[in-house]
Chain A
Amino acid sequence: MSKNQRNIGQKLKSYKRTPFSFLMMLLVMLSAVITFAVLIFLIAYVLINGVPYLKPSLFSFTYTSENASLMPALINTIIMTLLSLVIAVPFGIFSAIFLVEYAKRGNKFVEVIRLTTETLQGIPSIVYGLFGMLFFVSTYGWGFSILAGAFTLSIMVLPLIMRSTEEALKAVPDSYREGSFGLGAGKLRTVFRIVLPSAIPGILAGVILAVGRIVGETAALIYTAGTVADIPNSVLDSGRTLAVHMYNLASEGLYMDQAYATAVILLVLVVGINTLSGFLAKKLTKA
């Protein structure tokens, strides 16, 4: 946004008479450097220390006390992610459709939904964990189970999916809808055949962000899905995801090498997920 196209030397000279400006400029630069240096250092540190520990034995299908394999946790993470999405995505997309396509402007109920989604977004994951423990684990009697964890997480990511779907639907030009109506399509047909397909990149970007949150979640899962380090036989069994696995390894302090390796896998997953989501969002803005 720099409006003045001068070279650096001239710029520095002009700062001579304005010490306040010079100081603020330095502080701005310093802060930016700190922010990005911290990020780079964190990633580099984890990768450099973790990659050497990525041994094939870590991907064995059973967890034993001699070999703290992360494979069961990885499989649990995939199951947990799929299950949470199966629950959260339909609810998220349908409620966004309601908000954007059906609700009348200025509707009081819409205000209430907005307020509750914002509230949900601000609730810390440990509170979700407590609720999941009280509601799904105890009241429903599911015990520590993948299912209880997935339901808890699906509530947690619901606002994320809702918001991104809403944005994506709003970005679809009204002329699409009008064209569809003009050709005699009903409202439902317009929504499913015209509006939703053109909003898919945006919706996917949101869903992928949700995947990122699920993969990285720990606090909401410890007391809902439990910390058993094996692949569960059914969704009513306990099983820990990668993030929980990593927390347990690091806090036990016995398997620091494996914890480093798990951190690498988690980081790679999250970086990949973020890139994918960003790529899809970019596709949306181009369309």
Chain B
Amino acid sequence: MNKKAWTEKFMQGVFFIAACASVLAVALICIFLFANGIPAMKEIGFGEFLSGEMWKPKNEIFGILPMIVGSLYVTAGAIIFGVPIGILTAVFMAYYCPKKIYKPLKAATELLAGIPSVVYGFFGLVVIVPLIRTLGRDLGFGGNGSSILTASLLLGMMILPTIIGLTESSIRAVPEQYYEGAVALGATHERAIFRVVIPAAKSGVIAAIVLGIGRAIGETMAVIMVAGNQARLPQGIFRGVRTLTANIVIEMGYATGLHREALIATGVVLFVFILIINFSVALLKRRTTHE
């Protein structure tokens, strides 16, 4: 074998090894999380860990139900605020936006995705928290402003770019004839969009929502800064809540022994949620391409 052929083969090997890196990374992440989290879950008891309503590390009581419920609540809230606005903004971008301002607006939605979560969190802390505090007091719900509602609003903002981006591209992927056909049959602009184009883009839109759920459930820093972080079952939307992600960050700094392992197990639960979400997105995407 001459030198050139050898180099070709060698570099091909290098490229192949590099390509294996992502597979290796996923494998390592799974192995390390599960290997460190599952034993703790066993020791605490799967049932007790997942459905226990008390989280008292000092007394060795580790039940993460409040955090699971908390994560679900703020995620649901984020979906309620973020999805309608996101989808309608995507419709605006695809069908209403004047050509002249399209580019700056598109850049703006991308910027929305680029703003660091800690800046969102800070914004939530100094703007939304006082707002909700006043609102809660005025309406007689009380609470100090750090609440499910605050976290939901902030997360709703944060998932907007995900929803807008994906929904817009799936709307644009719908053949133009669908729209034109509907208009030719006498439908108005809006009727054509909402009765013909959006239903045709359905699986893309659902994928966008699911991805938004993934972002919301995995968000950490912004939520910690505005959610109050009380480790108990939520008492109302104006009261504080702690999510799975917050639980890890808040206590990992000083946790030792079983407590630390229970926190890693919290991460495992979160990771499993995310894997399920990823899997459903992959399924939805496959369905879109096969149709």
Contacts and interface: CB of A to CB of B under 8 A. Distances in A.
A135 B28 contact: yes
A254 interface: no
A112 B274 CA distance: 18
A32 interface: yes
B119 A46 contact: yes
A190 to B, nearest CB: 11
Interface residues of A, number: 93
Contacts of B26: 116, 119-120
Q: Is the interface of A mostly helix, strand, loop or mixed?
A: helix
Contacts of A128: 29
A1 B221 contact: no
A2 B115 contact: no
Contacts, number: 256
A243 B275 contact: no
Interface in B237-291: 245, 248-249, 252-253, 264, 267, 270-271, 274-275, 277-278, 281-282
Given A45-B123, A126-B249, A247 B21 contact: no
Interface in B194-226: 194, 211, 214-215, 217-221, 224-225
B177 interface: no
A102 B15 contact: yes
Given A119-B26, A119-B278, A124-B220, A131 B32 contact: yes
B92 A29 contact: yes
Contacts of A95: 15, 18-22
Interface of A: 1-4, 14-15, 18, 20-22, 24-25, 27-32, 34-36, 38-39, 42, 45-46, 49, 90-91, 93-95, 97-99, 101-103, 112-113, 115-120, 122-131, 133-135, 139, 155, 158-159, 162, 186-188, 209, 212, 215-219, 222-223, 243-244, 246-247, 250-251, 256, 259, 263, 266-267, 270-271, 273-275, 278
12 contacts: A20-B191, A21-B190, A22-B190, A98-B15, A124-B217, A126-B248, A127-B271, A131-B28, A188-B11, A216-B117, A247-B121, A267-B115
By Cβ-Cβ distance, the 10 closest A-B pairs, closest first, are A124-B218, A216-B116, A94-B18, A31-B88, A21-B190, A98-B15, A95-B19, A32-B92, A219-B220, A98-B19
